[in-house]
A and B are shown apart, each in its own frame.
Chain A
Amino acid sequence: MNHRFTRLAETSRIPVRLVIDGHTVEALVGDTLMVALLNNVRHLRESEFDDGKRAGFCLMGACQDCWVWTADGERLRACTTVVGEGMHIVTRQPEATWPNLA
């Protein structure tokens, strides 16, 4: 049980590859980043208030519970970002991005 979401249809799309916390995984063209991630892993980030792992909540850009980071430290809202070939995503907030919390 290493993924959270399950696909029910539209599975014959072209695959894309991305890297999550150093592991290369597959998703499908047209996936949101959130769907690409949660079809491979069970969480998106860790709560900075020590209450555990989080996997998003609203899927419509309203709660901001789905923030992930690129390997370069850019913050992305996973539910409204489209997955791209070769993306490098980390699910733990990098130290250097504190001003991005705006």
Chain B
Amino acid sequence: MAQPRVIIVGAGPSGVRCAETLVAAGLRPTVIDENRRDGGQIYRRQPDNFTRPYAKLYGTEAGRAQSLHESFDALRDKVDYLPETLAWNIFDNKLHVVRNEVSSAMPYDALIICSGATDRLMPVKGWHYAGTYSLGASQIALKAQACAIGRQIVFLGTGPLLYLVASQYIKAGANVAAVLDTSPLMRRVMALPKLLARPSVLLNGLGLVAGIKRAGVPVLTGITPVEIKGESESGVQSVLIRDSRGNERSFQCDAVAMGYHLRPETQLADLARCAFRFEQETRQWLPEVDEDGRSSVPGVYLAGDGMRVLGADAAEIGGRLAAMAVLTDLRLKVSDEELQGLRAEQASMERFRQGLAQAFPWPAEQAAQLPDEAIVCRCEAITAGELRHVVCGMGAQEANRAKAFSRVGMGRCQGRYCGHAGAEVIAHAAGVPVEQVGRLRGQAPVKPLSIAVREEQE
């Protein structure tokens, strides 16, 4: 039989472990990644002429980072690696990619989507001012470029990444003004039984919070964001919140790093016509998959954060599981013992994920409280009031219809940063459960292409 054509999108932890497992079984997959270098988000590599050692860059995860990078280096002549290549559409069992402004279509027998996640955002009045960044962005500035996003930085949002990045900033010598968490402390206590599925990770997290407090940085939980104050020319000036007792407090800063955990990048799965289901705990739509990452579409598999945000260690396991699913479906041999072992490990990762969702909930209620003049869509400066108007005045209660009327979700980020919050605004205005609002359909191209892009000549 001719070599099956297997394509992996993404060279993060899940994509790399997936490739490794396929290569070990004698296949030669193609690995596509938009980035210049492998590593994905957490194990993002710094440019060649930077000199910080692994321990400094990746902290407690240095060993895992180095292992992943070395594994991929060893695979380089055993896979077809296409860096700086964007997968922008899936149509007719072909993956459409663009590289150096040339677009081509790649047929596949199996496609494994390891596309990772982006920050999940809840708008706050003033978040369009220059100097507001996503939490992930603030980490990328430090990790990949050894920069802080400002001179005095407020970390605002919720989730483990909030504390991780704040403490990375403090260690690197940045001036952190405050860490402001919307989740009440009580939720963390209630989630303990589930979080104990990964005791060392839990302990690590507690250590981070203690370290931030030791550094003299205020850490507030159970807060409600009120406004990012600033000025359209010069940008962010302060963050105003209500603390857990209901008192207003203001923190001066010239930069804000904001994030409410992560959301999977599911546009490719959507274009491949994979089925989605609504998950109540996290209030979002996720691709339907079996235990190993098979989607509802034969030949299309998902792994890592792009399927469900389980974190980096689980992404490595997920990559291996998806590869084994591919091998099984191609009627190649896999070790049943290994498969069972990986599934068991993944089950405790899933338990931990549920613990995180309980401890650091998505603050849906904030969408309802957004003042009418607050911008929901940063791309086109569309306000909560304008979105509410198409719901209440024009009867658009479904996400895609409200998008067509209001343009929320139609801008250059294609709904990545306004989609989830927009759905909550619509649901509240219409008085329906958020799942009834539906979800924004993924559209090709998944990111804007340059006008210079041309088709490859056969």
Closest B residue by C-beta to A76:
B450
Contacts of B447 in A (CB 8 A): 61-62, 64
Does B217 count as interface, using CB distance less than 8 angstroms?
no
Does B145 count as interface, using CB distance less than 8 angstroms?
yes
Q: Is the Cβ of B379 less than 8 Å from the Cβ of A5? A: no
Q: Is the Cβ of A55 less than 8 Å from the Cβ of B381? A: no
Contacts of B52 in A (CB 8 A): 9-10
Pick from B41, B145, B448: contact of A35, CB under 8 Å: B145
- 9-residue interface stretch from B135-143, B206-214, B243-251, B339-347: B135-143
Closest B residue by C-beta to A44:
B130
Q: Report A3 CB to chain B, min CB distance, Å.
A: 9
Contacts of B424 in A (CB 8 A): none
Contacts of B48 in A (CB 8 A): 30
Interchain CA distance A50-B132 in the complex, whole Å? 17
Q: Is the Cβ of B416 less than 8 Å from the Cβ of A62? A: yes
Contacts of A52 in B (CB 8 A): 128-130, 231-233, 235
Please report whether the interface of chain A is mostly helix, strand, loop or mixed according to DSSP. Answer: loop
Q: Is the Cβ of A6 less than 8 Å from the Cβ of B147? A: yes
Interchain CA distance A54-B172 in the complex, whole Å? 26
Does B47 count as interface, using CB distance less than 8 angstroms?
yes
Pick from A30, A31, A58: contact of B136, CB under 8 Å: A58
Closest B residue by C-beta to A36:
B145
Q: Report B147 CB to chain A, min CB distance, Å.
A: 5
Closest A residue by C-beta to B171:
A8
Interchain CA distance A11-B451 in the complex, whole Å? 36
Interface residues in A, total, Cβ within 8 A: 44
Does A102 count as interface, using CB distance less than 8 angstroms?
yes
Interchain CA distance A33-B35 in the complex, whole Å? 15
Pick from A14, A51, A57: contact of B417, CB under 8 Å: A57
Contacts of B145 in A (CB 8 A): 10, 31-32, 35
Contact with A along B271-289 (1 / 0, CB 8 A): 0000000000000000000
Q: Is the Cβ of A5 less than 8 Å from the Cβ of B130? A: no
Contacts of B134 in A (CB 8 A): 57-59, 63
Interface residues in B, total, Cβ within 8 A: 58
Q: Is the Cβ of A35 less than 8 Å from the Cβ of B147? A: yes
Contacts of B34 in A (CB 8 A): 61, 80
Which A8-33 residues sit within 8 Å CB-CB of chain B?
A: 8-11, 13-14, 29-32
Pick from A7, A51, A59, A62: contact of B128, CB under 8 Å: A51
Interchain CA distance A9-B174 in the complex, whole Å? 11
Contacts of B129 in A (CB 8 A): 52
A47/B381 contact (C-beta < 8 A), A59-B140, A63-B412 known = yes
Which B129-166 residues sit within 8 Å CB-CB of chain A?
A: 129-134, 136-137, 140-142, 144-151
Q: Is the Cβ of B146 less than 8 Å from the Cβ of A6? A: no
Interchain CA distance A38-B49 in the complex, whole Å? 20
Q: Is the Cβ of B235 less than 8 Å from the Cβ of A4? A: yes
Q: Is the Cβ of B41 less than 8 Å from the Cβ of A60? A: yes
Interchain CA distance A47-B448 in the complex, whole Å? 17
Contacts of A63 in B (CB 8 A): 134, 378-379, 412-413, 416-417
Does B234 count as interface, using CB distance less than 8 angstroms?
yes
Does A88 count as interface, using CB distance less than 8 angstroms?
no
A60/B136 contact (C-beta < 8 A), A7-B147, A39-B147, A51-B381 known = yes
A102/B130 contact (C-beta < 8 A), A51-B232, A65-B378, A65-B379 known = no
Does B254 count as interface, using CB distance less than 8 angstroms?
yes
Closest A residue by C-beta to B140:
A59
Contacts of A49 in B (CB 8 A): 380-381
Q: Report A32 CB to chain B, min CB distance, Å.
A: 6
Q: Is the Cβ of A51 less than 8 Å from the Cβ of B50? A: no
Q: List 28 A-B contacts (CB under 8 A).
A: A4-B130, A4-B131, A4-B150, A5-B147, A9-B172, A10-B46, A13-B49, A30-B47, A35-B145, A38-B147, A43-B235, A51-B381, A52-B233, A53-B233, A53-B235, A57-B133, A57-B137, A57-B378, A58-B413, A59-B134, A60-B118, A62-B416, A62-B447, A63-B416, A65-B379, A65-B412, A100-B450, A102-B449
Residues of A at the B interface (CB closer than 8 Å) are: 1, 4-11, 13-14, 29-32, 35, 38-39, 42-43, 47, 49-65, 75, 80, 82, 99-100, 102
